[in-house]
């Protein structure tokens, strides 16, 4: 994740309510190809911004950022974006390919939590801690996605108390609690998963639900 905002002039803003969005490298250097709702919208979009036209209402549309080739570079800003794709079984935001993908989350996170940029480091340590660090005293299992469009699931168990278990899916603010997932924990942030290091980034306070 980047921690500075440098949106170029003439940035294009795409609203998630208008359909699923796929971003890939454009035909010109420093640009992105934007597809929405299965339709090509721009071959050379600069300073791509994805947002919600109504940030108080979650959309079930999703964002796919694809840097397919190693030399591809895709830069995207997520700003005031509200997605809940739980009902579709898809990740709200997925990143694919072997290229260079920069997702600018700084302003989005600061707006979400009412923080200044100087507070972001503290925010990150509390809300986007590595799952291996948060649950170091518990048993963690990452269940692979059922298909290429899905996301893996993190299951954390308390060996001493089998009733205490967390089922965590990425890019959602809802965590299932209990052996059968009968209870819900609603977070003030979303869980992030990075496939390159097979790591979930989540609130450090989640460990309290296993104690």
Global pTM? 0.51
pLDDT value at position 126?
78
Determine contact, residues 91/200, Cβ cutoff 8 Å: no
pLDDT value at position 181?
81
pLDDT value at position 111?
56
Determine contact, residues 176/106, Cβ cutoff 8 Å: no
- Which of 74, 71, 138, 143 shows the shortest CA–CA distance to 104? 74
Q: Which residue matches tokens 């809300």?
A: 127
Q: Give, in order, the Cα–Cα distances in Å from 137 to each of 31, 50, 156.
A: 45, 38, 10
Q: What is the pLDDT along the chain (211 residues), one digit of tens a residue?
A: 232 333 333 457 899 999 999 999 998 988 999 999 999 999 999 888 898 998 788 888 988 888 878 788 888 888 778 887 666 666 777 777 766 655 555 555 555 555 554 555 566 667 788 899 999 999 999 999 888 777 899 999 998 898 899 999 988 889 999 988 889 998 877 888 888 788 898 999 999 999 9
Residue 205 Rama label (left phi>0; alpha psi -120 to 50; beta): alpha
Per the structure block, which two tokens stand in for 175?
């965590």
DSSP letters, 17-49, are GG--EEEEE-SSTT-EEEEETTEEEEEEESS-E
């Amino acid at each position: 994740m980047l921690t500075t905002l440098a949106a170029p002039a003439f940035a294009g803003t795409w609203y998630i309510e208008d359909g699923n969005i796929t971003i890939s490298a454009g035909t010109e250097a420093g640009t992105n190809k934007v597809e929405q709702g299965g339709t090509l919208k721009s071959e050379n979009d600069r300073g791509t911004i994805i947002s919600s036209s109504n940030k108080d209402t979650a959309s079930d549309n999703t964002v796919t950022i694809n840097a397919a080739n190693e030399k591809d570079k895709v830069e995207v800003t997520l700003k005031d974006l509200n997605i809940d794709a739980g009902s579709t079984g898809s990740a709200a935001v997925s990143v694919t390919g072997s290229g260079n993908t920069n997702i600018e989350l700084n302003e989005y996170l600061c707006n979400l939590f009412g923080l200044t940029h100087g507070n972001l480091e503290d925010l990150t340590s509390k809300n986007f801690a590595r799952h291996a660090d948060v649950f170091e005293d518990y048993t963690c299992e990452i269940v692979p996605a059922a298909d290429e469009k899905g996301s893996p699931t993190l299951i954390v168990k308390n060996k001493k108390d089998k009733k205490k278990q967390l089922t965590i899916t990425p890019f959602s603010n809802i965590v299932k609690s209990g052996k059968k997932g009968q209870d819900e924990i609603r977070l003030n942030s979303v869980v992030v998963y990075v496939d390159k290091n097979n790591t979930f980034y989540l609130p450090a306070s989640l460990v309290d639900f296993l104690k």
